[in-house]
Amino acid sequence: MAHPSHALPSPIDAASVPEVINHTQWPSQYFQHVDPHGDVFHVMVSRTSYSMLDLEPTEAGMVPRLLSAQEQPPLCQADQFLGEPNETSTVQESDFAPYKPKCDVLLVNATAHSPTGQPMQRWPVGFRFGSIEKRFHVTGPRRYTRSITTLGTLQLTEPEPAKHVPLRYELAFGGPNLIRQERLLQACADGEIGTLTDQQRAQARKAHGDLPPFFSANPIGCGRMPDAIPDAEAALATFLAGGTAQADGNVLRPAPQIEAFEKPYNGQSDYPVIGVGPIGRWWAPRVALAGTHDDNWKKTQWPKSPRDHDYRYWNCAPDDQQIDYPQGGEEVVLVHFTSASRHTGPYRFLLPRQDLQLLVRLHVGVLMFAPMNIDTVILDMGTGILSIVRRAVVRAKTDVRQLELGTWPAGTGVQLDEAMQQAAQAHRKAKGAGSHGQ
């Protein structure tokens, strides 16, 4: 078969692909991963989803209903965002992470609802998941303003009463979110937008250079450097509209609405970033775990990950929402994540149990179970769907012949069947013939 002219030879050889059998109804996928040392691993990932809106009684307590095969959402193929990639909050990351040393517990598309269903200025919100207990406050909209009464100085307004607050990083401390403005000013400086004169392009380069650096802990947040966004918008309007413009600073100076528990935000320059969804891949401190991608890495290590790559990079939840792999049966309690008109008081249920395992058959005839660890739990509060992602990682050097995904109870014993005995004997004979020929 002819290869495309632009195809490059792979610098890394893949492992032999085993036969993969999925005995379940759940979306699952096999792929291979190469670690920084060049070792190849077989990876199996599976997603099982349940309805948090339809709880069923069990002897242990209420559990979400397992969705039918037709209702099961697919694996997440690529990172998903609320809006423009990297300019807005991440909703979900791709399920094709090679390995997660901890379990991410994520609340996505979440909204904080006032306890009474009536507009309030501020109220507490929280949840518990196993050993995790997280509490924080939310407020109604507020912003920084300038007025004659404050002699032109910035003043933080009181929160407006609100019935609900979206729990997204845009409303947490951080920013200023200048990602869009930075991109557009760079395009103006490069002459990619409109027909700007050399002088205008020089002005665009200066405006671009005057932008403050991104706040790495939450570059899309608000509260930091309130004047930066109005100034950048005014500069952009000059280039894009062909004349001077004055941005509406009172609209462009939002203040955080998600606060640390019992620590109100009152204009502090250093304040915690509070969120319940995925942390951006390029945010601190996560990005440092990816390792050192420099010229030496390009020359000596590419396409493998850097030698100092830390697999904790693949965990995307906030640090206080990463736990040891759950086993099922953990209690989930949500406080003020649901509307008072639909449910009053804490919303409780148990994480479902599922005896999902990966049966590994080796060429030498040995069988073993590889645990399908729960490394991602996603509570989608917008759809009411609970998704549990499990993953197994097997070293390719074990010479795997077949991988079977199924529901075998923990502690299940296995025996060699006749087909496996014949396969093992044939494999040993082939190995022996090959050694005599060398």
Last residue of a domain, one of 259, 274, 289: 274
156 and 223 in a single domain? The answer is yes
132 and 226 in a single domain? The answer is yes
Q: How many domains does the chain have?
A: 2
What tokens were used for 415? 């025996």
223 and 104 in a single domain? The answer is no
Q: Is residue 286 part of a domain?
A: no
97 and 192 in a single domain? The answer is no
Number of helices (H), then strands (E), in the chain: 5, 24
What is the rounded distance in angstroms from the CA atom of residue 401 to the CA atom of residue 365? 9
What is the rounded distance in angstroms from the CA atom of residue 341 to the CA atom of residue 162? 15
What pTM value is reported for the model? 0.88
DSSP 243-301: S-----TTTS-B---EEETTB--SS-SS-----SSPPPTTSTTGGGGG---SHHHHHHT
159 and 257 in a single domain? The answer is yes
> Are the CB atoms for 340 and 117 separated by under 8 Å?
yes
190 and 269 in a single domain? The answer is yes
Q: What is the DSSP letter of 242?
A: S
Q: Is residue 279 part of a domain?
A: no
79 and 155 in a single domain? The answer is no
Q: Is residue 268 part of a domain?
A: yes
Scanning 136-215, the segments in alpha helix (DSSP H) are 179-189, 198-209
311 and 209 in a single domain? The answer is no
Sign of the C-alpha dihedral, residues 247, 207, 168, 131? negative
85 and 125 in a single domain? The answer is no
User: What is the SS3 string spanning 408-423?
Assistant: CCCCCCCCCCHHHHHH
Q: Nearest-5° angle of CA 201, CA 202, CA 206?
A: 115
Q: pLDDT digit of tens for each residue in the chain (438 aa)?
A: 455 556 556 677 788 999 999 999 999 999 999 999 999 999 999 999 999 999 999 998 999 999 999 999 999 999 999 999 999 999 999 999 999 999 999 999 999 999 999 999 999 999 999 999 999 999 999 999 887 666 678 899 999 999 999 999 999 999 999 999 999 999 988 888 878 888 888 988 998 898 999 999 999 999 999 888 888 888 888 877 644 445 555 567 899 999 999 999 999 999 999 999 999 999 999 999 999 999 999 999 999 999 999 999 999 999 999 999 999 999 999 999 998 778 878 999 999 998 899 999 998 887 889 999 999 999 999 999 999 999 999 999 999 999 999 997 766 655 444 554 555 556 556 555 544 433
241 and 128 in a single domain? The answer is yes
Q: Is residue 262 part of a domain?
A: yes
Which range of residues forms the domain containing residue 144?
A: 118-166+168-274
